[in-house]
Structure 1
Amino acid sequence: MSALDGKTISVIGAGNMGGALISGLIESDLLPPESVTAIDIDDEILRGHNCRLGVTTTKDAGAAIPDKDIVILSLKPQIWENVVQPLAESFVSTQLVISIMGGVQCGAIESVLGNSVPVVRAMPNIAALVGEAVTGLAGGKHTSVDHLDLAEAVLMSVGEVVRLQEPQMDAVTGLSGSGPAYVYAMIDALSDGGVKVGIPKPIALKLATQTVIGAAKMVLESGEHPSILKDRVTTPGGTTIAGLAVMEENGVRAALMAAVEAATKRSKELGE
């Protein structure tokens, strides 16, 4: 029995991330299409969800909120308040609000909604589109363990979930929220390196992509620290240590760490 059995959900903002959650919930059979409502201002997005998944679609958020058990806010952090403020009276304390808006704190949403509405802040990543996201989530001041369990059931429809305290959520945004872009840049660079040494681009891209998939799977399944796995393929005087030395000389590790720090800082700025 799922925590979502019998629940109804509205998703405000049904683009990439909101749409991925809608797809995950339906395609994993956690909810029937009639239990999910997609809300967006884009007619094409709404038609797509209705035709492909059979969910209810509307532009009228005010009419699609009051009778729902869960409302997911999937809006750009720069505009969310302008969208949600006029709808505040539609929310009640028996609902759960899940925000997947980068940098927006639970307290900010709670102050707009009022009525002791429980809010869970979550940060999935773009891999939700292929069911391989990792999501950090944290509760606000009105949330209970049951609320967190419910939010986790929703987010697990698109991948893995970890629970944290809210002060850590900006760091989650900087690491795993933005992280796919760092990995895409690495894959692109590796494949370009392959082209530079004579491998055709399509083959180089396949080699680089599968290498990343395989390495990540080894970390997950072996339970060993990445540094141990790295040492296992690094022989004295060999090719791998030659490549790693160049990476160290060019500050690759430091650059990745700095990228996480910069994205975390930006997430905090968006919440101010």
Structure 2
Amino acid sequence: MTKHRLIIVGGGNMGSALVGGLLAAGWPSKDIAVAERLAGRAAHLRGLFPGVTVSDGMLPADGVVIAVKPHDVADAVAAAGASRLLSIAAGVSLATLTAACGDGVAVVRGAPNTPAVVAKGAAAVAAGPYATEDDLVWAEEILGAVGTVVRVTEPQLDVVTALSGSGPAYLFLVAEALTDAGVLAGLPRGVTEQLVGQLLAGSAALFAESGRSPAALRAEVTSPAGVTASALRVLEERGIRSAFLDAVTAGTARSRELGAAAASGAH
């Protein structure tokens, strides 16, 4: 039986995004396999990625990515039998993964986000006790095919989850609010959505590519006693800054609670 370079266990949105990203990065399709139990989803993946092996069960591979729901992780890890494993399952700790794999298996835990679907993801990785520098580089190559990757300690992954993991929802809420505000002020909804979409995309690109701090970029737009200054005064008075601080703090705490619950359920 052919041994693949990588098998992705779970062909959902994130697993599919990783396949597409790796192919775009130059990986040959024959090097990649996907294990997907749902027949309809498997058929969709075969049509989407010709040449990629899609199976309803585990296949031999040099490395494994676990991209299933948390309650399916234990079974997936047990079936993997891998010497190198990257898990992107939310809330499943390195201790739980390592216990399921057994001693000596290089485990890396990753926390990607949904913009990975359009190759604009922001992910973080943390190394398990047997993972080496080479294993971290391997994990970064996989997640880097769909965006940016940073290294953190495992406790910091809960902050990453609340910040960049949940972050798209925060920004979509801001987009909703800005769209409603534009409509209320007199613009057609279609025009407003187009402007807001480009506003977010352009501002994000400016931030990412300029190398300047958010504070410096904000100040550049804000003329003394001008329109922007008047608008920002209202946002600060309504506590928008503290609201985001509290949101990320609450999200971090909830991520830790869910991780503890997942660990308890695994034992």
For residues 30-49 of structure 1, the aligned pairs below 5 Å read: 31-49=27-45
TM superposition shift of 1:110: 0.3
For residues 52-71 of structure 1, the aligned pairs below 5 Å read: 52-54=48-50, 55-61=52-58, 64=59, 67-71=60-64
Summarize the Cα distance change of 1:85–1:153 in structure 2 as closer, same or farther, 3 Å threshold.
Answer: closer
Q: SS state of the match for residue 8, structure 1?
A: strand
* Larger mean Cα displacement after TM superposition, 70-79 or 162-171: 70-79
Which residue of the other structure, out of 148, 152, 159, is the alignment partner of 1:171?
159
Structure 1 unaligned regions, length at least 5? 1-5
TM superposition shift of 1:271: 1.4
Q: Counterpart of 1:84?
A: 76
Structure 1 segments, 4+ long, off by >6 Å, are: none
Which residue of the other structure, out of 218, 221, 224, is the alignment partner of 2:206?
218
Q: Deviations over 1:24-75 (max 9, x none)?
A: 111222x2112111112221221111112121111113xx1xx211110112
Separation in 2 of the partners of 1:44 and 1:131?
Answer: 24
Normalising to structure 1: TM-score of the pair? 0.90
Q: Deviations over 1:68-96 (max 9, x none)?
A: 11110112224423x33652xx514xx21
Summarize the Cα distance change of 1:19–1:178 in structure 2 as closer, same or farther, 3 Å threshold.
Answer: same
For the pair 1:25 / 2:13, whether they are aligned, the reply is: no
Q: Name the % identity.
A: 36
* One-letter amino acid matched to 1:72: V
Q: SS state of the match for residue 168, structure 2?
A: helix
Which residue of the other structure, out of 19, 27, 46, is the alignment partner of 1:50?
46
User: Conserved in 2, the CA contact under 8 Å of 1:10 and 1:38?
Assistant: yes
Alignment size in residue pairs? 257
Separation in 2 of the partners of 1:115 and 1:121?
Answer: 16
For residues 1-272 of structure 1, the aligned pairs below 5 Å read: 8-29=5-26, 31-54=27-50, 55-61=52-58, 64=59, 67-81=60-74, 83-84=75-76, 86-87=78-79, 90-92=80-82, 95-272=83-260
Q: SS state of the match for residue 10, structure 1?
A: strand
TM superposition shift of 1:167: 1.6
Normalising to structure 2: TM-score of the pair? 0.91
Q: SS state of the match for residue 129, structure 2?
A: coil
TM superposition shift of 1:7: 6.3
Structure 2 unaligned regions, length at least 5? 261-267
